Structure 1
Amino acid sequence: MPTQPIDTLDGTLVLRLAYDGAGFSGFAEQPGQRTVAGETRRALETFLRRSIDLTCAGRTDAGVHARAQYVSVPLTADELAITRSRWMRALSALLPDDVAAGEVFHAAPGFSARFDARARTYTYRIGTGEARPLLCREYAWWHRTPLDIAAMEEASRCLVGEHDFKSFCKVASAVGKPTCRNVHAVGFSTETQLGEELLAFTITGNAFLHSMVRTIVGSLVEVGSGRRDPAWMAEALAACDRRAAGPTAPARGLCFMSVTYDEGVLTVCS
């Protein structure tokens, strides 16, 4: 498909997507792999009948889910006139069953779902105890043994603020790249999903490194299991060495929950 000349692009389409990550090799496009970006691009290019530039708020790994991933695409003036109902019908028809468009927005020319994001929130869900989560088994890590939530809460406090999170990052992705991030908030809660009780760890930050949330969760579970003292979490953080932290938690328990943008930047498509 021909690429649309940049001087004809008059605004930005922003989609809020949800997806079940089980059937994808992550969000980012990869040759020969089924990805969320690849399926989204195919749907949009089929509808618009041209090639597009697609930007996401945050890449998710293989098996990670999303309730509110945001993607941005520059549009022409004629394309900006497409109604919300037409977008929703088209996307429902063209996207696969494991991806859904939840809302359609407009933004100014040059808006980027990635670079204009102020914060991102992830939640990791864990099932504990002898009973395996059944209806939620694809969206939670079954840990089998009880966890000391108070110890995990104590250990997690050191994460808040701006730190070098190299200890909680996939080694290869940290080479030659900055690894400082600002975590705004962390917290634990219990949820009942489809009648099954889960422990939910939620973390909000300006941005996240590759596998950062899952490695944090794996490390917190080391504390909750009694294998590590809560003070060990701060020691692992300060080490700036992946070997100092705990294992990486399974992908299926992680969900990209929301993105924060400046008020008024996004306008719901009419």
Structure 2
Amino acid sequence: MEHLHVDEPATGTGGGLVRVRLGIAYDGTALHGWARQPGQRTVQGELELGLATVLRHDVDLTVAGRTDAGVHATGQVAHTDLPAALFAVHEGRLLRRLRGVLPPDVAVTGARVVSDAFDARFGALARHYVYRLTDADSGPPPLRRADTAAWGRRLEVPAMRVAAALLLGQQDFAAYCRRREGATTIRTLLDLDVSRDGDVIEIRASADAFCHSMVRSLVGALIAVGEGRRPAGWPASLLTMTTRANDVPVAPAGGLTLVRVDYPPDDQLAARALVTRAKRA
């Protein structure tokens, strides 16, 4: 997910319910993003169906960040509220039983009861993504072809690293976001680093949150610098814009993976959710 939606309500608690935190991983290649869509395979759709099949109880998931079509995750987080007695019956065998009903490109890697104050979306401190690409003539390594994008030109990583450093901090990233009605484009970019290992380049991006297509647009701008088509200061120069920059390319979805979501300690969860809701309102 690169982005958050202000119209997604938090799940209510009470009435003998427990809040369950789920760890989730998926290969997004054949999935149409996170959010359920009629007639399309999505991560949310597959998970809610799988959970309902195992638990024999309707499930509604709230996710840390909605990823776009084709984007992967190894560290996605969601929560749901379930009857305490029902979860107690299934907890010990839930992951194994889900493995039997979920498709092979979606997995639940963890499920545990957490504080009622935990909110997968509003409680998050930071989201961490990795974008992998290769400029090797032979293309991606066969065993990594699902999560590594191919690039046809040699990229100069030192120039990309300089450009990335100029984008850090709290900025209005309107130039890099697809506009959502009523949604802010101000984000705090905590880390944006570029490294090379042989022919494979990794771009690591961390922020309090990302708006729609922001990570892939940042990667696209850095690639333009790496190819020598733009100077290192060009990506940062776009931060003065109040609308999306038409000349910023969007990198292919298949290279992007959500790897981790950070949360505060339990005693700070409620306060964090209040702060985040105020910012998104």
**Is the TM-score greater than 0.5?**
yes
Shift of 1:244: 5.5
2:101 is aligned with 1:94: yes
2:267 is aligned with 1:259: no
Instruction: Give, in whole Å, the separation in 1 of the partners of 2:197 and 2:242.
Output: 33
Deviation per CA, 1:87-113, whole angstroms, max 9, x where unpaired? 111111121110112122221225221
User: SS at the partner of 1:159?
Assistant: coil
Letter matched to residue 229 of structure 1: P
2:134 is aligned with 1:127: yes
> Between the two proteins, what is the percent identity of the paired residues?
38
The residue aligned with 1:168 is 176
With over 3 angstroms needed to count, the CA separation of the structure-2 counterparts of 1:181 and 1:126, relative to structure 1, is same
The residue aligned with 2:17 is 10
User: SS at the partner of 1:216?
Assistant: helix
The residue aligned with 1:157 is 165
The residue aligned with 2:6 is none
Instruction: Give, in whole Å, the separation in 2 of the partners of 1:190 and 1:16.
Output: 29
With over 3 angstroms needed to count, the CA separation of the structure-2 counterparts of 1:54 and 1:9, relative to structure 1, is farther
Runs of 4+ in 1 over 2 A off after TM superposition: 5-10, 82-85, 189-192
Instruction: Give, in whole Å, the separation in 1 of the partners of 2:227 and 2:20.
Output: 45
* Farther off after superposition, 84-93 or 22-31: 84-93
Letter matched to residue 86 of structure 2: E
The residue aligned with 1:268 is none
The residue aligned with 2:125 is 118
Is the 1:15–1:101 Cα contact (8 Å) retained in structure 2? yes
Shift of 1:22: 0.6
Give structure 1 stretches of 5+ with no counterpart.
Answer: 266-270
Shift of 1:264: 4.8
Residue correspondence of structure 1 range 144-223 to structure 2 within 5 A = 144-171=152-179, 173=180, 175-191=181-197, 197-223=199-225
Deviation per CA, 1:57-78, whole angstroms, max 9, x where unpaired? 1000000000111110112220
Shift of 1:186: 1.4
Is the 2:157–2:195 Cα contact (8 Å) retained in structure 1? no
TM-score, L = length of structure 2: 0.85
What is the total number of aligned residue pairs between the two structures? 256
* Farther off after superposition, 19-28 or 86-95: 86-95
Instruction: Give, in whole Å, the separation in 1 of the partners of 2:63 and 2:163.
Output: 31
* Farther off after superposition, 176-185 or 34-43: 176-185
2:38 is aligned with 1:31: yes
Letter matched to residue 187 of structure 2: R
Instruction: Give, in whole Å, the separation in 2 of the partners of 1:13 and 1:250.
Output: 33
The residue aligned with 1:140 is 148
